[in-house]
Amino acid sequence: MHHGNHYYGHAQVLAGYCGLDPDDPPRIEGYLQHGWNVLDGLGGGTPYAPGSPIFVWSERTRRRAWSMGRPLATVTGAPFLYLLRSESDRADEGEREGTIWYPFHGWEGQQVSGDHLRLIDEITATEAGPVTFCLYWNEYRDDRIRAAYEHAGRVVCHGYRGYMRRQTDARFLHKQLAELRRHRRVASNRLSTAILYGAVAGCAPAVYGDPMHLAGEDTPTAERIRREWPELHGTGPDPDRARAVALAELGDGHLASPAELRAILGWPS
């Protein structure tokens, strides 16, 4: 099992959906897409054993994988959608308030650079209600960055995504879903996985502000994202159009039943 299959507790979420032990998910026979991207689902630099299947979130991603020489791609839908299906009867019916804001972040291999104070000023000038800033673990561990956001509002972190199957917060997606359900809006300075999740979880999405820079990033790809998904950009996109786009990118309509998903992933019945 590629260790990325455990990122954000994805394997655990799918195991629970399939009626298996979420604390001890079986080996996934292949590579599971762990985040939204505009490549083949695996992302640049992911070690790949030729001939291994990959499980992608959407039909659009499957077509890109095929065009990049990886025909063994199967559309399964995003684990987050399986979590939504599993917890559909647990949705908080309380009134939503304010915005949860996800600043663009770095990771172990690449750091993001930009003016966080300037971004915070733009956020507080734009958002009408209270703002919760959700920092990725990489920035949350930076005392200077975290303090800047703490000065402007509530700060949370959904947990550590894990690495080499160590320190994975298996409840990452559960925490994220709970936070999204308490907010009216979800926003970021880059279109990202969190924005798609928020849109399908009932938040009005927005993407605005300084996009910042990721060390060594492919600039044309970043520009292409802003150009290709205009429905999700701006301070107030149409929520219905944005949600339709998010559902398509996450693979709505392709979710398998528990029995089907066990067969697809090579898990015991």
Instruction: State the Cα–Cα distance between residues 99 and 198, nearest whole angstrom.
Output: 11
Most confident of the ranges 153-167, 217-231, 248-262:
248-262
Structural domains of the chain in order of their starting residue, each with its CATH number: 3-78+251-265 (no CATH), 92-249 (3.40.50)
- Write down the pTM of the prediction: 0.95
Cα-Cα-Cα-Cα torsion 144, 148, 150, 156, nearest 10 degrees, comes to -70
- Per-position DSSP letters for 28-74, written without gaps between them: PSSEE--S--SSSSS-TT----TT--EEES-HHHHHHHHHTT---EE
Length of the chain: 269
Give the residue from 54, 46, 47 showing the smallest Cα distance to 70: 54
Name the more confident of 103 and 222. Answer: 103
107-161 pLDDT tens trace = 666 677 789 999 999 999 999 999 999 999 888 989 999 999 999 999 999 999 8
Q: What is the CA radius of gyration of the chain?
A: 18
21-49 pLDDT tens trace = 999 999 998 999 999 999 899 877 777 88
Residue 44: Cβ-neighbour burial (10 angstroms; 0-12, 13-18, 19+) = exposed
